[in-house]
Structure 1
């Protein structure tokens, strides 16, 4: 995958600095996730289809390690070098639907994605304050593939996630930013990521439309056969393509102009359909081809003569071709009318306008009180499984005053917190100055590594990259990335 690697410079730097050699190592890396509206629409629909079946199918993303590592103090200074700074949380959020997690920040949620083997995975994350109110903070390894020059597929953020529900919508990742060393060398000293996301996406109730609207619709669509009575059928039987019959056995063929004749539709291959004549007659074309979007299960189960494929949204499609079969009515005959149905999507607006965003802090002293949030799910090394991953959990305390190293992940300077949350909490925020009544604070880390420091088979510590000047540079670059809606006010795909 092509990537953009540019050193971040401030407006006040001299011309000499701006003309630095091209070989100078950048401190940040950026990758596109799903920047195009059509692809973003498909990614959001993938996770929300069938009442969130894919969301419920996902499991926590766990790095392949044989044993929980041990965190070792480096004895380094208790504060990163550089001028301390912070940006405040977003407080002027819109009214949103109620959540069962009322005692937790609305900003907390899960990121979902497909890993390198196509498995449905999730990590933890939070919405953060940014210029365009569209930024998510999580662990770098929950966005960028470990050991590969690439990002995960169908990456989305679901704030307030609870038991397969997305109470405030799905936000598809557009662009991801992380430390250059993580992206290039898998150096977990930079295990953080900021992701600019598109506007929120939700599915509204489906709608019945005319065939003309159906053909023109740029979103999801399918055909529902609606049973009607014989009188209703007689009113529309000549509207070939909308009404048809289905009977038992093998009824006698009839001419299309016979006063009692009714027409069945017979699904045929594209080749047969293309050879058929147009008009009213035995074996003639029955309307125009119908392309509908189907589930992966329907796609796999379909054995008919229609054409199977994928549309530009990445959805499975089947195109059906029909010819006419005129017969005399028989007992038990049923009559049908095609209900042309479209799936309507809803634009929810920018992430920060819907759920708000936590503040961000950098170059802060270690040894401060933090509250860490996440969706732990994995068992402890000894097999005990106290967490389900269904709802977010938290732990709080003071970080260690000295940084730590973890040789397994090339970590030389992480901050450490005593906490028993297990994998699944990856990417969850560490909040300084957390205000329980306002449910806001300042992100000063994200969960990266889980450790069993006393060797008893239980996770007892977690660690995070230290949010220093480099993190501030990456954050500053990410927060200027603009995104927007992926669907029109009508609810179809935005071209």
Structure 2
């Protein structure tokens, strides 16, 4: 980050959604209304396929990019692979996620203290197990979830965390998009360690386990904690799966099988930038954390969806000047990094990635989250994506 001033982010006063960190306190959000505040850049629509030759809306020389190696060598990949054996993955999924600005507890554990509820949970919502949003399917039905959607598992400061994420189309066919705070710890100025992606983890690990190779993001997120750039592209190694075996004494061991490149295995969402606001959008994630009133309508083990038209939002506290918001969404901690998909086809699960779950809002101050926001996907996002998709892999 040559020439970049490193400044701790301002003190947070509302919940920064959704990363798998431990020990958050939940704060109400009421300072910033859900209606549009200001305008977004009026750039033309830019859709990116893996083979795209569309010109960016302005010069995207890579002077604002931050890249860091996660596990580039074969030996480093092997170390991460051996760390994330099935028992550890199963334990990690039970951890309670919380916001990235929260104080981290002394150790990761399957349980964490939560605020005392101020009102009972809504029974119908808890039973349905879905977020409420405009255009949601009737209870008992659901659109096909993109098989690209999954979870990332990683360590910050020797503690294990998780977030949501998605595979995206790329020239190297090996790229994951997630939130910046799901790959870089702005409080310690450190990239994540032992970072892996598992698509559709609720179905097991058949889709593969993909070790992070290189992290690419805008430099203002690690440098300033700027949530105008809370997105990250992580290039990943070829994937593998574990199969259980028993030796002559009945002891369980695991055999590793290679499964190839991520995009070849599960596909990838195309990337769309400079679309503006007002777009019908589906957002996916694995919410798990408590609502502000302490209730827990989600368990983090099932992917959920919110739907609505995007509006413009701001948060000076988070240096967010060009954010997008979807209302009527109760996503809580754990959904961070999940994809915002436009032009979504529920029959096939295909569409364009146009945002990432970043901040959760409690605008009504009624004990329930009611909106989710994303950084705006503009020219800087495009530059980060184009850099990451060209990274050569072994």
Calculate the TM-score normalised by the size of structure 1: 0.57
Structure index of larger Rg: 1
Aligned partner of 2:179 in structure 1 is 139
SS for the counterpart of 1:472 is helix
Q: Alignment length, in residue pairs? A: 306
Deviations 1:83-105 (A, max 9, x none): xxxxxxxxxxxxxxxxxx99321
Aligned partner of 1:130 in structure 2 is 170
Pairwise CA distance, 1:342: 7.9
Q: Is the aligned partner of 1:357 residue 2:262?
A: no
Q: Is the aligned partner of 1:456 residue 2:335?
A: no
1:392 maps to which of 303, 308, 324: 303
SS for the counterpart of 1:26 is helix
| Cα distance in 2 between the residues matched to 1:61 and 1:34 | 26
CA shift in 2, pair 1:387/1:64, >3 Å:
same
Contact 2:148–2:200 (Cα < 8 Å) also in 1: yes
1:104 maps to which of 141, 145, 148: 145
SS for the counterpart of 1:395 is strand
Deviations 1:247-304 (A, max 9, x none): xxxxxxxxxxxxxxxxxxxxxxxxxxxxxxxxxxxxxxxxxxxxxxxxxxxxxxxxxx
CA shift in 2, pair 1:354/1:476, >3 Å:
same
SS for the counterpart of 2:234 is strand
CA shift in 2, pair 1:407/1:201, >3 Å:
same
Runs of 4+ aligned residues of structure 1 deviating over 3 Å after TM superposition are: 3-6, 49-59, 204-208, 341-344
CA shift in 2, pair 1:102/1:405, >3 Å:
closer
SS for the counterpart of 2:293 is coil
Q: Is the aligned partner of 1:404 residue 2:309?
A: no
CA shift in 2, pair 1:4/1:478, >3 Å:
farther
Pairwise CA distance, 1:407: 2.6
CA shift in 2, pair 1:178/1:46, >3 Å:
same
1:466 maps to which of 350, 373, 376: 376
CA RMSD in angstroms comes to 3.1
CA shift in 2, pair 1:455/1:207, >3 Å:
closer
Aligned partner of 1:443 in structure 2 is 353
| Cα distance in 2 between the residues matched to 1:373 and 1:445 | 11
2:79 maps to which of 21, 33, 42: 42
Residues 270-289 of structure 1 aligned to structure 2 (within 5 Å) = none
Q: Is the aligned partner of 1:421 residue 2:331?
A: yes
Pairwise CA distance, 1:51: 7.3
| Cα distance in 1 between the residues matched to 2:233 and 2:346 | 24
SS for the counterpart of 1:64 is coil
Aligned partner of 2:201 in structure 1 is 161
Deviations 1:61-80 (A, max 9, x none): 522359xxxxxxxxxxxxxx
| Cα distance in 1 between the residues matched to 2:188 and 2:88 | 33
SS for the counterpart of 2:317 is helix
Calculate the TM-score normalised by the size of structure 2: 0.71
Contact 1:123–1:427 (Cα < 8 Å) also in 2: yes
Unaligned runs of 5+ in 2: 5-52, 104-141
Residues 68-467 of structure 1 aligned to structure 2 (within 5 Å) = 103-116=144-157, 118-162=158-202, 165-206=204-245, 344-400=255-311, 403-418=312-327, 419-467=329-377
| Cα distance in 2 between the residues matched to 1:474 and 1:369 | 25
| Cα distance in 1 between the residues matched to 2:214 and 2:84 | 19
| Cα distance in 1 between the residues matched to 2:211 and 2:2 | 20
SS for the counterpart of 1:168 is coil
Pairwise CA distance, 1:195: 0.3
Pairwise CA distance, 1:360: 0.5
CA shift in 2, pair 1:393/1:4, >3 Å:
farther
Pairwise CA distance, 1:344: 3.3
| Cα distance in 2 between the residues matched to 1:49 and 1:434 | 33
Q: Is the aligned partner of 1:482 residue 2:384?
A: no
